Structure 1
Amino acid sequence: MNLFKIQPLTADLLPAVVELDDLCFGGLWTLEGYTRELDSPNSDLLVVSVATSSSDGDRDLTPTLIGLGCVWAIVDEAHITLLAVRPGYQKRGLGTALFVTLLQTSWRRGLKQATLEVRASNHAALSLYQKFGFQEAGRRRGYYADTGEDALILWRGGLQHPQFETTLMTWKQQIHHRTRSKNWVFIE
């Protein structure tokens, strides 16, 4: 059984985060950039780590960093800047769990809406974001310097709507069910 945990980034994990960033984004942010984010009161950096549990319940004591997410608080808006899961661990619901946790973090901060940019060709990410109520609000032409590809700007409002807390809990339950069916257990 695989046990995964989503938690705030700590300074001791910075080298592993930079390595994951390089693998998933080609070196989008540097060690200095992550350090600044870690020190910023307006930034929440979350990581996903995994440990393996044998059938007798013993856990591997050296968890592996497999996911990374970041959200900025700008006035009353959540700007989701990063979402990545290490190749080989994708399609297990871990990115979805991380994304919902970023939304929950935004809700706890009292933010009212959320936005993000995504490559127009990233259909898997678009599908994920739309599943959680994000809608296209615009396009940034030539946004990605490496390819010249456009970015779609997605928005979602209602984070402080009275029903949103219940919606978050429903999403969390669905994620727990999905990950458990794939032999992954979320530890809080």
Structure 2
Amino acid sequence: MKFAIRKMTLEDIPVVIDLDRKSFSLPWPERSFRFEVTDNPASRCWVAEVNGRVVGMIVVWLIVDEAHVATLATHPDFRRQGIAQGLLSHALRHMIDEGARSSFLEVRESNLAAQDMYRKFGYEETGRRRRYYKDNDEDAILMNLDSLTAERLIVEDGRSTLGKEEQNER
């Protein structure tokens, strides 16, 4: 599927909020997205569009030399088509350019599809936050990517940039 990635703007927030609500049982409030787009110096925000329609979003915080993936979502009608993977790859490339050397995130224990995608990028489970999600007391899986380099990323069309030898080791 063809999609375009661009920086999130204030005009995107109503659609992003709807997307967030369709994706998560604990969505962010509007003021949080506004803060991320306008006032948080650590925040980098992008959206993915298909035919001009926002169908995905990602918010990443650059904290010293770490990229913290704060949220990543794809509209339910557009899942499993490489959009989340493209957003993550795009964001991490920008984070590398800005000096990030590693990345980390939290993901619901039940979100196996997301965990599988993160593993494709080289993230590894490093721990848990017990009962992190307050809607159902579900654990958060902590995942880290300790060596963040462009060579380890998946390109935005879904192909791996790893060499054949490294691909076979995974």
Partner of 1:175: 158
Larger radius of gyration between Structure 1 and Structure 2 = 1
User: Which of 109, 112, 124 is the aligned partner of 2:113?
Assistant: 124
Task: List alignment gaps of at least 5 residues for structure 1.
Answer: 52-62, 178-188
In the alignment of these two chains, the number of paired residues is 159
CA contact (8 A) 2:46 2:59 kept: yes
Superposition TM-score, scaled by structure 2 size: 0.87
Pair 1:101–1:90, CA change in 2 (3 A): same
Partner of 2:102: 113
Partner of 1:8: 7
Partner of 2:64: 75
Q: Is 1:32 aligned to residue 37 of structure 2?
A: no
C-alpha separation between the residues in 2 aligned to 1:173 and 1:82? 18
C-alpha separation between the residues in 1 aligned to 2:21 and 2:41? 25
SS in 1 for 2:16: helix
CA contact (8 A) 2:25 2:135 kept: no
Q: CA deviation at 1:173?
A: 6.5
User: Which of 128, 138, 151 is the aligned partner of 2:140?
Assistant: 151
SS in 2 for 1:172: coil
Partner of 2:76: 87
Q: CA deviation at 1:172?
A: 1.3
Pair 1:152–1:27, CA change in 2 (3 A): closer
CA contact (8 A) 1:5 1:50 kept: yes
Partner of 2:165: none
Pair 1:34–1:173, CA change in 2 (3 A): closer
C-alpha separation between the residues in 1 aligned to 2:34 and 2:16? 11
CA contact (8 A) 2:86 2:156 kept: no
Moved more, 16-25 or 108-117: 16-25
Q: What is the one-letter code of the residue matched to 2:41?
A: P
Q: What is the one-letter code of the residue matched to 2:155?
A: K
SS in 1 for 2:27: coil
C-alpha separation between the residues in 1 aligned to 2:21 and 2:157? 31
Q: CA deviation at 1:96?
A: 0.9
Q: Is 1:66 aligned to residue 55 of structure 2?
A: yes
SS in 2 for 1:17: helix
C-alpha separation between the residues in 1 aligned to 2:133 and 2:26? 14
Structure number with the bigger relative contact order (C-alpha 8 A, sep ≥ 6) is: 1
C-alpha separation between the residues in 2 aligned to 1:91 and 1:124? 9
SS in 1 for 2:11: helix
Q: Is 1:137 aligned to residue 111 of structure 2?
A: no
CA contact (8 A) 1:18 1:27 kept: no
Q: CA deviation at 1:176?
A: 6.6
